Amino acid sequence: MTFPEFGFAGRSVTRITAPDRKGPGAVIRAVALDPERELSSPHRRYEPERVAAVAGISSGGPAGAEWPLEPLADGVALNGGRCAVYATARVRSIRSGATWTSRGATYQVRLRPLLPDEADCAAL
């Protein structure tokens, strides 16, 4: 399972810049870190145990397929939409950003992996 909109689809590079003391915004040096060589612990791909499905009512577009899990309206309120947490295995076949129909309403659903310190939708 990959989450390309969150950068989980492959390797990433961290870039650290230090400001030049001669003026604001100037860069004195930039360093690219290679996690395979320069971190104190081995690089491991993050595999989330749980994923939040964040759904917002979609208007004007075509209705999507029927949502295969619990009704989206039963999720908790989050930023004007609804949110529910699922085990990663339950949402593997669901494409993030797709339009779904649930109880007659049309939703756009985004999947977001929960980080280790995020217990539920309230942490988002």
pLDDT top residue among 16 and 116: 116
Q: What is the pLDDT of residues 37-53, one digit of tens each?
A: 766 767 677 889 999 99
In a domain, 31, yes or no: yes
In a domain, 100, yes or no: yes
Q: Are residues 32 and 81 in the same domain?
A: no
Asked if 1 and 92 touch (Cβ cutoff 8 Å), the reply is yes
pLDDT at residue 6 tops 60: no
Q: Are residues 24 and 64 in the same domain?
A: no
> Residue 47's CB: how many other CB atoms inside 10 A?
9
pLDDT at residue 107 tops 60: yes
Q: Are residues 19 and 71 in the same domain?
A: no
| In the block, residue with structure tokens 């595999």 | 47
Q: Are residues 12 and 56 in the same domain?
A: no
- Supply the range of the domain harboring residue 17: 4-38
Q: Are residues 60 and 34 in the same domain?
A: no
pLDDT at residue 24 tops 70: no
- pTM equals 0.66
Q: Are residues 33 and 63 in the same domain?
A: no
